[in-house]
Amino acid sequence: MFSLRTTLRRRGSIAALVAALGAAAAAAGGGPSSITPQELREWLGYIASDELQGRAVFSEGLGLAGGYIVEHLRDWGVKPGGDPGQYLQTVRVLGVKTTSHSSVTVRVGKETRTFADGEGITFPKNMGGKRTVTIDRVEFVGYGLDAPGASHTDYGGKDVAGAAVVWLGAAGPKDLDQAAYRRLLAGRNRYATEQRGAAASIGPPAAPGAGRGGAGRGGATGAADGVDFTTVQRLDAAAPPNLTAADAFFEFVFSRAPSTYDELKRKAAAQEPLPSFRLADVAITFTIDPAYDVVRTQTTHNVVGIVEGSDPQLKNTFVAFGAHYDHVGYAERELSREAGARRPGAPGRVTPGAEEDRIWNGADDDGSGTVAVMAIARAFAAGAKPKRSLLFVWHAGEERGLWGSRYFADYPTVPMDRIVAQLNIDMIGRNRDDKASEANTVYLVGSDRISSELHAVNRAANAAMTRPLTLDYEFNDPADLEQLYFRSDHYSYAAKGVPIIFFTTGLHPDYHANTDEVSKIEFDKMARITQMIFETGVRVANLDHAPARDNKGPRAGRLTQ
Ligand SMILES: [Zn+2]
């Protein structure tokens, strides 16, 4: 005899079957209409399930997620694009110890002094490959900070391209909210070399209590486990010197300057306004001479698939789509009831009231991007082929410092100069801060920075949709407090000169919390964003030329559109 519950369950399963058949029919034809909320929900239901244990890199859960993606790619006829003949690309994560013989030689007028690494000047442990570079244009840029939102601009229109930049004042200027601006303050060396084009940047050590960040390459440091740093990148690549210096160095550099170092140091300590000026007749020679000892190698995998284009020539070039399929994992330690309920050793935030939940499901971050890229891959595999080929990469270890994408960018499975654009999807399943007013909004970061043409193609693709999304460029501002441009996988491609767009619906209270769950995902919105990204990709893949790389930098955001 049927119980009422059984009947309901059966009815439910028939409805599910009908929905699945409908989705299968749509999928058969490929194209944007094959991207449906139902399927995104089904796939995410697995990717963000407790069974996958939060998908931490090197975990069983991440392996299951990778296997699930591979299985689908094989079903859909997407070709393997990883290690030869494989969907997986092995990513080697190196633990490295550094012995440094590096130094800096400063010439002021006719006087010269050399500072060894650790004596007046400190190189990051990951300082790039051996080389010597002399820079004879040295610019003092005050606090080295552009924070127009706080009415503080040190660079303004000043061109520091190719110069060595020197800045002071670890704590930043007075009246600057240090907590809100911590990423900008900590990222000043990176800002100088990566955004302003400086050839080197030298500042004081971080203020006590400030977070790390900005200095060095390759993200994560690993001092706690007996290595100097952890990296997936080539150790021999040239990196602009990003150094910290002590009083002895600054005293000499400023010895003939319009202001003495004592005076500048006093002002910086008092957080008073600092001047900026060129350090005339000063040259700095950086002798970068490290010996790297790889003391540990761990492996994980990117998942890579390819759908071939239709044009005999253009199919040798690629439009890349990416997301990260890892998240932060689960809490191994037991709940502590002393001093309130706590999860010691939790991999992320614990939402009050959800202390019992020990799995960080990462439904939005980045389960949403993971299944969106699956849907795009299937839409291309089953549908009409554009001229260019499509490359799909599910990156591992993004949460640990963009590992998968940094590795791919240094060891690409197709030549990097044949990737004409990279469209990165990280967190597209929510409304920013859970606001209903955000229901139609998607944030784009970086779309205009490398290629104005890519930016225009995306806007046209969105405008042509039945229901265009609201495109918001707020986070594209170089002074964005969250510095999102540096915080997902597209950045690894951008650093190699590839035009990128980073798509996200923004941060929310469940970001990196144990309550980032499937039940909170806006699947209709997510499907529309995924379709818009697909349409952008089709247009780029059918261009007869690669999107022009005019490198005009970030403009959308401040000027809007
Ligand atoms: Zn994340």
Structure confidence at residue 157 (pLDDT): 82
Cα(368) to ligand 1 centroid in Å equals 11
- Average pLDDT, integer, range 185-205: 94
Residue 132 in tokens: 């010597």
pLDDT, greater one: 377 or 218? 377
Residue 326 makes CB contacts below 8 A (sequence gap 6+) with: 55, 56, 57, 62, 65, 300, 395, 396, 397, 398, 399, 400, 404
Cα(62) to ligand 1 centroid in Å equals 14
Please say if the pLDDT value at position 65 is more than 60.
Answer: yes
Cα(26) to ligand 1 centroid in Å equals 32
Structure confidence at residue 7 (pLDDT): 37
3-state secondary structure 289-357: CEEEEEEEEEEEEEEEEEECCCCCCHHHCEEEEEEECCCCEECCCCCECCCCCECCCCCCECCCCCCCC
- Percent of the residues in the chain that have a pLDDT greater than 90, as a whole number: 83
Task: Using pLDDT thresholds of 50, 70 and 90, give the confidence band for residue 215.
Answer: very low
Structure confidence at residue 392 (pLDDT): 99
In 402-497, beta strands by DSSP E: 419-425, 441-445, 470-472
Cα R_g (the chain), whole angstroms: 25
- Average pLDDT, integer, range 321-350: 90
288-292, 350-354, 458-462, 497-501 — which is least confidently predicted?
A: 350-354
Please say if the pLDDT value at position 491 is more than 50.
Answer: yes
Cα(399) to ligand 1 centroid in Å equals 5
Please say if the pLDDT value at position 340 is more than 90.
Answer: no
Check residue 363 and report its DSSP letter.
I
Residues with a beta carbon under 5 angstroms from ion ligand 1 = 365
Please say if the pLDDT value at position 492 is more than 70.
Answer: yes
Cα(559) to ligand 1 centroid in Å equals 29
Place of tokens 């919105």: 525
Give dist(CA 5, CA 8) in Å, integer. 5
Measured in Å, how far apart are the chain's first and last C-alpha atoms?
Answer: 63
114, 107 Cβ separation under 8 angstroms: no
Task: Using pLDDT thresholds of 50, 70 and 90, give the confidence band for residue 69.
Answer: very high
Q: What is the mean pLDDT of the chain?
A: 92
Cα(478) to ligand 1 centroid in Å equals 20
Cα(355) to ligand 1 centroid in Å equals 20
Give dist(CA 435, CA 518) in Å, integer. 18
Cα(397) to ligand 1 centroid in Å equals 10
Cα(395) to ligand 1 centroid in Å equals 12
303, 325 Cβ separation under 8 angstroms: yes
Cα(352) to ligand 1 centroid in Å equals 20
Cα(172) to ligand 1 centroid in Å equals 28
Cα(486) to ligand 1 centroid in Å equals 12
- Average pLDDT, integer, range 184-198: 93
Structure confidence at residue 6 (pLDDT): 36
Please say if the pLDDT value at position 559 is more than 60.
Answer: no
Cα(398) to ligand 1 centroid in Å equals 7
Structure confidence at residue 558 (pLDDT): 61
Structure confidence at residue 11 (pLDDT): 46
Cα(326) to ligand 1 centroid in Å equals 8
Cα(542) to ligand 1 centroid in Å equals 32
Cα(370) to ligand 1 centroid in Å equals 12
Structure confidence at residue 18 (pLDDT): 57
Cα(426) to ligand 1 centroid in Å equals 8
Structure confidence at residue 20 (pLDDT): 59
- Amino acid symbol at 408: F
Cα(444) to ligand 1 centroid in Å equals 17
Cα(515) to ligand 1 centroid in Å equals 13
Pseudo-torsion of CA 198, 201, 203, 208, nearest 10°? 100
pLDDT, greater one: 478 or 45? 45
pLDDT, greater one: 26 or 423? 423
Cα(183) to ligand 1 centroid in Å equals 16
Please say if the pLDDT value at position 22 is more than 80.
Answer: no
Structure confidence at residue 212 (pLDDT): 43
Cα(324) to ligand 1 centroid in Å equals 9
Cα(523) to ligand 1 centroid in Å equals 19
**How far from 62 is each of 89, 396, 414, 421, CA to CA, in Å?**
14, 8, 24, 27
Cα(94) to ligand 1 centroid in Å equals 21
Structure confidence at residue 561 (pLDDT): 44
Cα(403) to ligand 1 centroid in Å equals 13
Please say if the pLDDT value at position 15 is more than 70.
Answer: no
Cα(512) to ligand 1 centroid in Å equals 6
Give tens-digit pLDDT for 444-459.
999 999 999 999 999 9
pTM (2 decimals)? 0.89
Please say if the pLDDT value at position 107 is more than 60.
Answer: yes
Cα(327) to ligand 1 centroid in Å equals 6
- Average pLDDT, integer, range 238-262: 96
Cα(371) to ligand 1 centroid in Å equals 15
pLDDT, greater one: 490 or 341? 490
Structure confidence at residue 23 (pLDDT): 60
Residue 277 makes CB contacts below 8 A (sequence gap 6+) with: 139, 140, 257, 258, 259
Task: Using pLDDT thresholds of 50, 70 and 90, give the confidence band for residue 556.
Answer: confident
Cα(487) to ligand 1 centroid in Å equals 9
Cα(288) to ligand 1 centroid in Å equals 33
56-70, 275-289, 341-355 — which is least confidently predicted?
A: 341-355
Please say if the pLDDT value at position 191 is more than 70.
Answer: yes
Structure confidence at residue 210 (pLDDT): 55
Give dist(CA 528, CA 440) in Å, integer. 9
H-run or E-run covering 106: strand 103-108
Cα(90) to ligand 1 centroid in Å equals 21
Collapsing DSSP states into helix, strand and coil, what is residue 198?
coil
Residue 23 makes CB contacts below 8 A (sequence gap 6+) with: 36, 38, 39
Cα(427) to ligand 1 centroid in Å equals 8
Cα(47) to ligand 1 centroid in Å equals 15
- Average pLDDT, integer, range 252-263: 97
Task: Using pLDDT thresholds of 50, 70 and 90, give the confidence band for residue 1.
Answer: very low
- Amino acid symbol at 425: I
Cα(402) to ligand 1 centroid in Å equals 10
Cα(2) to ligand 1 centroid in Å equals 46
pLDDT, greater one: 103 or 183? 103
Give tens-digit pLDDT for 403-412.
999 999 999 9
